[in-house]
Amino acid sequence: MTEKITYVKNTSEFDELLAKEQFVLVDFWATWCAPCRMIAPVIEQIADKYDGKVTVAKVDVDENQELSIRYGIQSIPTVVLFKNGKVEAKEIGVKPLSSFTNMLDKHTA
């Protein structure tokens, strides 16, 4: 587990993170979700590659149902890119690293 990933514990912590950081990539996941575990190494690679440019966070949908409802998360994994606190882009399901880097490069350039 990389220290470059922020594990969001509650809604207020999430809101503070969005208010503080320009770009936040959030992985909505759950511990029981096999596809979520499959993309975990990809999320870690992103955290390393975009360190200092994009804040990477994980939100456990079981522990933060309010956030799941707020952002319409209906299937996991769902990875959402926020820019200045607003949803900028979204990827749903297991995707290769290139899908996420393309999304990030397009929206953070």
Q: CA Rg, the chain, in Å? A: 12
pTM of the full predicted structure?
Answer: 0.95
Q: Exactly one of 33, 46, 80, 104 is catalytic; which is it?
A: 33
* Residue 29 known to be catalytic: no
> What local confidence, expressed as pLDDT, does residue 2 receive?
55
pLDDT tens for 33-60 read: 999 999 999 999 999 999 999 999 999 9
- DSSP summary character for residue 42: H
Q: Exactly one of 36, 56, 61, 103 is catalytic; which is it?
A: 36
* Residue 80 known to be catalytic: no
pLDDT tens for 16-36 read: 999 999 999 999 999 999 999
Domains and CATH numbers, the chain: 5-108 (3.40.30.10)
pLDDT tens for 69-109 read: 999 999 999 999 999 999 999 999 999 999 999 999 999 98
> What local confidence, expressed as pLDDT, does residue 109 receive?
83
For residue 109, the tally of other CB atoms under 10 A from its CB is 5
Q: Whole-angstrom Cα distance, residue 76 to residue 33?
A: 8
